[in-house]
Amino acid sequence: MRKQLWIEGLATFFLCCATLLATTPITVAAILCALIYMGSAISGAHYNPAVTLGFLLRGRIGRRSALAYVGVQFAAALGAALVVGLLTGHDMEKTKDAVAALSDSVFAGALATSIVEFLGTFLLAFVILMVASSRLTAGNSYFGIAIAMTMLGVYGTFGEFNPFLNPAVAMASSLHGLASSLFSDADGFAAFAKEVILAAKDAPRVALDIFCQLLGGAAAAGAFRMLFPGDR
């Protein structure tokens, strides 16, 4: 189990770093593809709590293992937020703009982004279950490419909504500003205090996004079991 958790943690860390730093979705998809081929034979290459939930409901992972996977994935996301915050530094101008917008509703546009997070995560998780867990596709060598292309396609289709499709990545993104304030060259305490306020305000929206992502993973497992009841 230790090897599986190390792989899940390392891969989730680099996936979160790529998502926060990369300038194009192609870069994220390329790294994801490599990470999937790297870890699939060891941990199953989930790297995503929503995917782990799908595998749990699919019956391909036990509850204790699933909880351990999710814990490691979120810990890796926190580590990625800290490292990326150190690398990029704190953007005071961006923080000032965000503080100025504190009076705006955190749920503005939430319906559209929630639908996108659900649909995108559903499709990603369903493709993963089909190419990486089904007896119909057992032994294939294209699973990594299929999963990476699905993510790239979802980003290309719904890019204007900035979907995360992954609760760990969503958490890393939400904590990035807070983590970067720890390395601020200016008044570190003031920067940290402002980021705490912003993180607290955004927390309900982040929680909603994560809920929709997990719901998408659960729905993918449900759809798989309905379509292929004999595939256990």
Give the mean model confidence (pLDDT) for residues 99-108: 66
Query: Token match 């996108």: residue?
Result: 116
User: What pLDDT, on a 0 to 100 scale, did the predictor assign at position 218?
Assistant: 98
Model pLDDT for residues 201-227, shown as the tens digit of each residue: 888 999 999 999 999 999 999 999 999
What is the percentage of the chain residues whose pLDDT exceeds 70? Answer: 91
Model pLDDT for residues 130-157, shown as the tens digit of each residue: 999 999 999 999 999 999 999 999 999 9
When mean pLDDT is compared over 53-57, 175-179, 227-231, the highest value belongs to 53-57
pLDDT of 67 higher than 60 = yes
pLDDT of 198 higher than 60 = yes
pLDDT of 54 higher than 80 = yes
For the record, the structure tokens of 139 come out as 């032994």
* Banded pLDDT at 180 (limits 50, 70, 90): confident
Mean pLDDT for all residues in the chain = 90
pTM of the model: 0.92
Domain with residues 2-227, CATH architecture: Up-down Bundle (1.20)
User: What pLDDT, on a 0 to 100 scale, did the predictor assign at position 91?
Assistant: 66
pLDDT of 41 higher than 70 = yes
